[in-house]
Amino acid sequence: MADENPARSVPPAGKESPIEPSPVTDTVYTAPSYRSPKRRRTLVILIGVVVLLVGGVFLWRYFNSYESTDDAQADVHLYPVSARISGYVVRVNVEDNQWVQKGTVLVEIDAKDYEVAVAQAQANLSNAEATAQSLNVTVPITTINTTSQLKFTASDIENAQAGIIAAQRQLTASHAQLDEAEANNVRAQDDLRRYKLLVDKREVAEQIYDQALASAKSSTASVAAARANESAAEQFVQQAQSRLAQAQANHQSAETGPQQVSSTRSRVRAAIADVEQKRALLEQAQLNLQYTKIVAPVSGAVNKTVVVGLNIQPGQQLLTVVPLDEVWVTANFKETQLRRMRVGQRAEIHVDSSGKTLKGHVDSIAGATGPLFSLLPPENATGNYVKIVQRIPVKIVLDQGENRDHQLRPGMNVVPDVYLQ
């Protein structure tokens, strides 16, 4: 304890106290004790600086490892559901904000008129098919008939030509018979005149005169008969020539048989085309009948504007389906934030409404800044141009199952963090 009191360690005045070595003082070595706190402070400062530098490096690397923006919102493609036909709404099967599956019947239109149209189209198709079938059967019949007619008319021409030759020969014979009858008649008339003179002079018997008279009358009748035969032969020639002309006309008509067959085939093709047209009309009528039931194009929540009793027109929008399973995030990053941003990088989306953090990844980066897609894009080529940092939309897609509870709705504000590493 005496060593710890500094007053007792001072020697009396005028005397020098010999310094004796002490085991305690040799072990403690109090001489540098006044410099030890300074070294400790220096060491602490150095350690603090190193910690700050290391922490700053880690903080810099951390804040430099991602890009964030509060100019972001949830987006989705809205599916408008419209009518494809006109009609009277008889049933609406959904309510506002109701979740529906793809293919669910949302609205039903009165189908009676369209059922009648289907029946009429079916009847027209049956009629057209029957007509086409009958014309198709007519084609081979017409072909055979025209071929046979060509042969028959050619044979008729040959027969008519042979008849003309025979009639002309008969006419020639009639001419010869007439000449012979006329010659005999001239001789008989001459004999009659001579016998008349002799009878008057009583140089021959009256019996001989009577014979000459009878012969003259007979020759006159023969001439008349020969002339009649000649006229008949001439008529036969004319008839044969008429038959030849008729046969030639029939042959010319028969020669148009291929054209008739072609015309028949054309009618068949027209009938087949009519069948196809009627079949298309039937299909259209069946489609219109199907369109009386309006179904959901995708699964999602429904927002409807249609009610029962409404008369709708084609193209009139009736409902809107919001597919909440397909929600993505559109983040408008500054152009300076896109230096190291790439497709596929991991992202975290902080939802303002629920406070949840959802996981996703960068799907794509827009090809232009947002204002360029507006109706009146800005024009910077002016004299008073002021440079403004532009924003480019980045599409961030949620990972599978992140929005299973559908709490992230289109239009909500979010804060995405895109990790650049």
The reply to whether 35 falls in a domain is no
Whether 399 shows a pLDDT value over 90: the answer reads: yes
The CATH number of the domain where 71 resides is what? 2.40.30.170
Query: Is 393 found in the same domain as 255?
Result: no
d(CA 343, CA 331): 14
Mean pLDDT along residues 320-328: 95
Q: What is the pTM of this model?
A: 0.59
The CATH number of the domain where 106 resides is what? 2.40.50.100
State the DSSP H helix or E strand holding residue 38, giving kind and residue range, or none if neither. helix 36-63
What are the phi and psi torsion angles at 323 (to 5°)?
-80, 90
The pLDDT tens digits for 123-176 are 999 999 998 887 776 666 666 666 666 666 777 777 777 877 877 787 788 778
pLDDT grade for 29, boundaries at 50, 70 and 90: very low
Whether 336 shows a pLDDT value over 60: the answer reads: yes
Q: How many structural domains comprise the chain?
A: 3
Higher pLDDT: 108 or 378? It is: 108
Higher pLDDT: 91 or 209? It is: 91
Mean pLDDT along residues 347-376: 89
Query: Is 262 found in the same domain as 185?
Result: yes
The CATH number of the domain where 237 resides is what? 1.10.287.620
Give me the domain span that covers residue 119: 114-282
Whether 195 shows a pLDDT value over 80: the answer reads: no
The reply to whether 6 falls in a domain is no
Query: Is 269 found in the same domain as 139?
Result: yes
Whether 22 shows a pLDDT value over 50: the answer reads: no
d(CA 299, CA 77): 12
Compute and round to an integer the Cα radius of gyration of the chain: 63
The reply to whether 15 falls in a domain is no
The reply to whether 5 falls in a domain is no
Mean pLDDT along residues 373-380: 72
The reply to whether 354 falls in a domain is yes
Query: Is 330 found in the same domain as 316?
Result: no
pLDDT grade for 4, boundaries at 50, 70 and 90: very low
Query: Is 308 found in the same domain as 266?
Result: no
The pLDDT tens digits for 72-125 are 999 999 999 999 999 999 999 999 999 999 999 999 999 999 999 999 999 999
Q: What is the pLDDT of residue 300?
A: 95
| 77 SS3 class | coil
Q: What is the pLDDT of residue 243?
A: 78
The reply to whether 307 falls in a domain is yes
Q: What is the pLDDT of residue 356?
A: 92
- CA torsion, points 280, 284, 285, 288, in degrees to nearest 10? 170
Query: Is 267 found in the same domain as 213?
Result: yes
SS3 content of the chain, % helix, strand, coil (to 5): 55, 20, 30
Q: What is the pLDDT of residue 185?
A: 74
Query: Is 126 found in the same domain as 200?
Result: yes
Query: Is 250 found in the same domain as 302?
Result: no
Query: Is 276 found in the same domain as 204?
Result: yes
The reply to whether 27 falls in a domain is no
Report the range of poorest mean pLDDT among 195-204, 275-284, 397-406.
195-204
Domain boundary residue, one of 261, 282, 303: 282
Query: Is 307 found in the same domain as 341?
Result: no
Q: What is the pLDDT of residue 8?
A: 44
pLDDT grade for 384, boundaries at 50, 70 and 90: low
Cβ-based burial of 202 (10 A; exposed 0-12, middle 13-18, buried ≥19): exposed
- DSSP for 85-126 reads S-EEEEEE---TT-EE-TT-EEEEE--HHHHHHHHHHHHHHH
Query: Is 393 found in the same domain as 348?
Result: yes
Q: In 142-151, which positions are buried (b, 16+ CB within 10 angstroms) versus exposed (e)? A: bbeebeebbe
Whether 2 shows a pLDDT value over 50: the answer reads: no
Query: Is 243 found in the same domain as 380?
Result: no
The reply to whether 55 falls in a domain is no
Q: What is the pLDDT of residue 370?
A: 78
d(CA 370, CA 330): 11
Q: What is the pLDDT of residue 256?
A: 63
Mean pLDDT along residues 211-229: 78
Mean pLDDT along residues 226-231: 79
